[in-house]
């Protein structure tokens, strides 16, 4: 079954000319194209985040208002261990576009005969 799904995935992306590019201060520069693209699209990722059981150590401060702002008469607890059960947080938007900086390397896919380019993700060197 794994081989079958691998074959289907390979067929789905065959012929898709993904390429590397660099975010600039005013646009996107593809490695294969010498002109900067001022207008480009960015993929929008909506995911479910699955968290395993985990714990954190911290202190509680009280009282706080409904927004979590500490009120003037603050009481602080001793160090406390907070334990969390496994959970899934649905429909989390990954807004990595907000964190893209000039010089970031990205994977881009030209579409519509090359008239549009979609930045799929930021890429990093696995060696460091």
pLDDT band per the 50, 70, 90 thresholds, residue 6? low
At 57-90, the pLDDT tens digits run: 999 888 889 998 888 777 788 999 999 999 999 9
pLDDT given at position 82? 95
pLDDT given at position 7? 54
**Domain regions of the chain by residue span:** 12-123
Tell which wins on pLDDT, 10 or 98: 98
pLDDT given at position 41? 93
Determine the Cα–Cα distance for residues 46 and 40; give it in Å rounded to an integer. Answer: 19
Least confident of 27-41, 61-75, 99-113: 61-75
DSSP string, 49-74: EEEPSEEEEE--EEEE-TT-PEEEEE
Q: Report, as an integer, the average pLDDT of 34-49.
A: 92
Q: Within a 10 A sphere around the Cβ of 32, how many other Cβ atoms? A: 10
């Amino acid at each position: 079954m794994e081989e079958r799904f691998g074959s289907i995935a390979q067929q789905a992306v065959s012929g898709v000319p993904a390429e590397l590019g660099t975010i600039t201060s005013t646009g996107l520069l593809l490695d294969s194209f010498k002109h900067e693209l001022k207008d480009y699209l960015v993929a929008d990722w909506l995911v479910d985040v699955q968290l395993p059981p985990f714990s954190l150590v911290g202190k509680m401060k009280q009282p706080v208002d409904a927004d979590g702002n500490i009120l003037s008469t603050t009481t602080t607890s001793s160090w406390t261990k907070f334990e969390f059960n496994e959970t899934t947080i649905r429909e989390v938007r990954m807004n990595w576009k907000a964190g893209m900086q000039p010089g970031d390397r990205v994977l881009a896919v030209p579409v519509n005969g090359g008239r549009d380019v979609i930045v799929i993700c930021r890429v990093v060197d696995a060696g460091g």
